[in-house]
Each structure stands twice: as structure tokens, then as C-alpha cells.
Structure 1
Amino acid sequence: MVSGELERTILTVHLRGHDGMCVGCLAWWSRLVLYPCWQVEWATRRQARASVARFLDSLSCALE
């Protein structure tokens, strides 16, 4: 299981600009393809999934 450190690292390095695009990826790849940073999308989904899992665990513990 990932501790969340990888997600935090990606989100600190790949900063979203005002248009939602990753600033670093936009500067690096903008001439080739204009597409949102998949690493930010992955890390954001992982953080959201972990948050929901913690919430559901707390509910199941409270009901026992």
C-alpha cells in the first residue's frame, strides 16, 4: 500500500496553473500536445480514494 508520500511529491512538483494545466508539463510538452497532466490526475484520484476509505473505515468502526 502506498503511504501517500508519492502522491504528495507529485502534487508538490506538478503545480496546476490558472487553467488547470500542470505548469511544468505545459512548459515542457506544450509544443507537442496540450493535455492535462496525467500524474496530477493520478495523484488526486489516489488521495481522494484514500480519503473515502478512511471515512468508510471510521463509519464501520463507529457502528461496531
Structure 2
Amino acid sequence: MLIDLDRCTRCGSCVDACIAAHDDGNTRLYLDGPRFENFLVPLTCRKCLDPVWHDWLSGRGHQSGGQW
């Protein structure tokens, strides 16, 4: 997965969606990792077959707000 940092507003909603999907309240999506030009390769556990943060990024991932 790549996050286009020119389009991402760093609102954190993808992380919030990941937290909400797990009963222990912990995220498996970390907005840290290698960067290539304007793209971030975030750290993830890669165990979810259908990660909820992916659906969020595919749809509403362009809201304005927050920062990392």
C-alpha cells in the first residue's frame, strides 16, 4: 500500500477505523515507514483479509483536518 502524501490530509481517520475494527482498541496501521518521493509505505500487520482502513482510504480519504 502507498499513501499519496499530496492527497492525504493526515486526519488519522484510517487509523481510527483500524482501532474500531479490533476489540482490544489497538491499531495495526502505523503512519510511519519508508517514503519514496511523495509516497509513504505505512507499517501494517497485514493480517486482515479485508482491512477497514483500506475501504476508508478508497472512499473518503481526502477530508481536510489533522496532522501527523
> Per residue, is there more strand in 1 or in 2?
2
Q: TM-score, normalised by structure 2?
A: 0.25
Bigger-Rg structure (1/2): 1
Bigger proportion of residues as helix:
1
- If the length of structure 1 is used for normalisation, what is the TM-score? 0.26
Q: Which has the higher contact order (CA 8 A, sep 6+)?
A: 2
